[in-house]
Amino acid sequence: MTIHSIRKICCIGAGYVGGPTMAVIADRCPEIQVQVVDLNESRIAAWNDPDFSKLPVYEPGLDVVVSRARGRNLHFSTEVDAAIADADMVFISVNTPTKTKGLGAGQASDLRWVEACARQVAQCAQGHTIVVEKSTLPVRTAVAIKTILEAAHPQVADASSSTSFSVLSNPEFLAEGTAIDDLESPDRVLIGGADQEAIEALAAVYGHWVPGEKILRTNLWSSELSKLTANAFLAQRISSINSVAALCEVTGADVREVAKAIGTDSRIGSKFLQAGPGFGGSCFQKDILNLVYLSHHFGLPEVADYWQSVVSLNTWQQHRISRLVVQKLFGTVTGKRVTLLGFAFKADTNDTREAPAIRIARDLLEEGAQLAIYDPKVESEQIARDLNLPASSAPAAQAGPTRAALSGEGTWWPSNSVDEAVSGSDAVLILTEWNQFRELDWTTLASLMRQPAWVFDARAVVDPARVAEAGLMLWRVGDGDA
C-alpha cells in the first residue's frame, strides 16, 4: 500500500474546532499548506488580525501557535472554492446544531451546512480528494456525503473522470479552554473509514506529533458513534453528580466529599465529578439529543429515554438554582439587584453557547430581577443576543429600585469589574469558575452590598470561611451545611 502523502489541506469552517485544530496541524507539519476557509468574512478578518488578542476564539496558547504558523503555512480566507480545488484533503468542520424546526426539531442535528459543504466539494474538487468529517455527525452521515460526492462524479458511468473521493470520519475530542493542550497531547485520535490508504494518509498527518499507539482506526460507523457516545458518557457523569449534589443539600452530606470518596475507586475515576450549575457548551446537549433521536429512529425508545434523562436532569438543575435564589431572597427578586459572576459556559473560553448562565439569567429576569453581569471574556453584545434583551444602562450603586424595576420588568447591564457589578446588590451568583472568583475579598465586597446579602456559589469556588467572616450568607452547590 502506498501512502498518499498530504501536501495541501483545506478546512471548511473557521470556528472553535476548525481554527485551533488547523493551527496545531500547521504548526506541527510545516511542509503541509493549510487553508482554513469560512463564509463568515468578519470571522476570517479576525483570524487575520495583526493583533493576536483579537482572534475570534479565546483559547489559552492559541495566539502563540497561530503566530508561529500564520502566513507561513497557515492561511485564513473566504475563497472556499479555490481552497477546495487546491487541496488533497478537505476537512468539514462546520456547525451541526440541533434542528429548530421540521422533522426531528429539538433533537436531530441540522446537517444543512454539512450537506452544503459536500456539494461544494463535489463541484470544486480536483484529482483524488480525501474528505474528512471533523464535525460531530449522526451515525451514517458518511453515506450521505459519499452519495453527494459520487453523484457529481459517477466513477462507473464516467470512467474518464479524474476526480475521485474517499470519506473518513475523524471526530474532534478537544474541550474548550484546554483546546491547545488537548490537540497537542490528545488521549487518542480516532480515524474511521474503509479506504486504508486514505486512513494511513490522515494517520501520517497526526503521526508528526501523536504517538502511533494513540491513533485508533475503526470503521466509519464506530467512529461517528464513538464521538456521540464519549460526550454522552461525560455529560452523564455531570448529571449523576448534580443529582447527588441535590441529595447532599437535603441530607447534610457534602458533594465534594462524596465525589472524592467515589472518585478514588479506580473503576470510577476522579474526573468529571464536579457538581455545578449543569453542563453547558455547544456539544453535550446537542450530541445527546442527537443520540436520543437516533435511538427513536432505530426503534429503541428505552435507550432514547435513558439518554434523554441526562439532559432533563441538567435542565432541572439550572431551574433549581434560579428557584432557590428567589426562595432565599424572601421569595421575590423583583426590583432586586443580583450580580452574576461569569457568563461563559466554563472558564477560559469566551464561548456562551448553552451556558447555564443563559437559562438562569432568563429565569431571574422573568422574576423581575435587575442583573449586573460580569465576565472577563464575554462581550456584552453576546450576552444581549443570548438573553434576547438589550442591555440597560447601569443604575447608580446606591440608588434604590425604580418604579419601573418594581413594576416587575427584568433588566440587565454589563459590568467592567467584580466590584462594580457587586455594588448595591442583594446577592452574588457565581456561574463560571474563572480563577479570579476564587480569590475575591469578601469583606470588601460585603461592604458594597445591600444587607442582608447572599452569595450563591454554583461552582464551589469560594472559601466558605471567608464568606462567613464577611457576614454574608452562603449557598454552595451540594453543601448540606451551607
In the complex, the residues that contact ligand NAD under the rule CB under 6 A are: 12-18, 37-40, 43, 80, 93-96, 113, 116-117, 135-136, 172, 174, 176, 282-283
234 lies in the site for ligand UDX, by CB under 6 A: yes
Q: Which stretch binds ligand UDX (CB under 6 A): 118-126, 167-175, 206-214, 309-317?
A: 167-175
| Cell (9 digits) for 119 | 456539494
Cis before 452? omega within 30: yes
Among the listed residues 95, 73, 60, 77, the one whose alpha carbon sits nearest the alpha carbon of residue 28? 73
Q: How far is the CB of 415 from ligand NAD (least distance, A)?
A: 27
Partners of 167 in the β-ladder: 131
Q: What does 116 bind: ligand NAD, ligand UDX, none (CB cut-off 5 to 8 Å by kind)? A: ligand NAD
Bridge-based pairing of strands 427-430 and 337-341 is: parallel
Q: What are phi and psi of 214, to 5 degrees?
A: -95, 0
Task: State how far the Cα of 436 lies from the Cα of 461, in Å rounded to an integer.
Answer: 10
Q: How far is the CB of 182 from ligand UDX (least distance, A)?
A: 7
Q: What does 274 bind: ligand UDX, ligand NAD, none (CB cut-off 5 to 8 Å by kind)? A: ligand UDX
Q: How far is the CB of 37 from ligand NAD (least distance, A)?
A: 6
Q: Which residues are catalytic?
A: 172, 227, 283
Please, which residue, 86 or 182, has the CB nearer to ligand UDX? 182
238 lies in the site for ligand UDX, by CB under 6 A: yes
Please, which residue, 78 or 243, has the CB nearer to ligand NAD? 78
Task: State how far the Cα of 183 lies from the Cα of 188, in Å rounded to an integer.
Answer: 10
* Residue for grid cell 438562569: 360
Q: Are 248 and 255 in contact (CB under 8 A)?
A: yes
Q: How far is the CB of 280 from ligand NAD (least distance, A)?
A: 11
Please, which residue, 46 or 246, has the CB nearer to ligand NAD? 46
Please, which residue, 20 or 193, has the CB nearer to ligand UDX? 20
DSSP 438: G
Other C-beta atoms closer than 10 Å to the C-beta of 62 total 19
Q: Are 74 and 36 in contact (CB under 8 A)?
A: yes
Side by side, the strands of the sheet bearing 8-12 are 74-77, 33-37, 8-12, 89-92, 128-133, 164-169, 189-192, 215-218
Please, which residue, 273 or 341, has the CB nearer to ligand UDX? 273
259 lies in the site for ligand UDX, by CB under 6 A: no
Q: Which stretch binds ligand UDX (CB under 6 A): 49-57, 76-84, 174-182, 316-324?
A: 174-182
Q: Which residue sits closest to ligand UDX, CB atoms considered?
A: 281
Other C-beta atoms closer than 10 Å to the C-beta of 207 total 16
Task: State how far the Cα of 355 lies from the Cα of 344, in Å rounded to an integer.
Answer: 6
186 lies in the site for ligand UDX, by CB under 6 A: no
Interactions with ligand UDX, residue window 93-112 (CB under 6 A): none
Among 193, 280, 414, 424, binds ligand UDX (CB under 6 A): 280
Task: State how far the Cα of 232 lies from the Cα of 322, in Å rounded to an integer.
Answer: 25
Please, which residue, 83 or 198, has the CB nearer to ligand NAD? 83
Could you list the residues that contact ligand UDX (CB under 6 A)?
Answer: 172-176, 231, 234, 238, 272-274, 276, 279-281, 283-284, 345-346
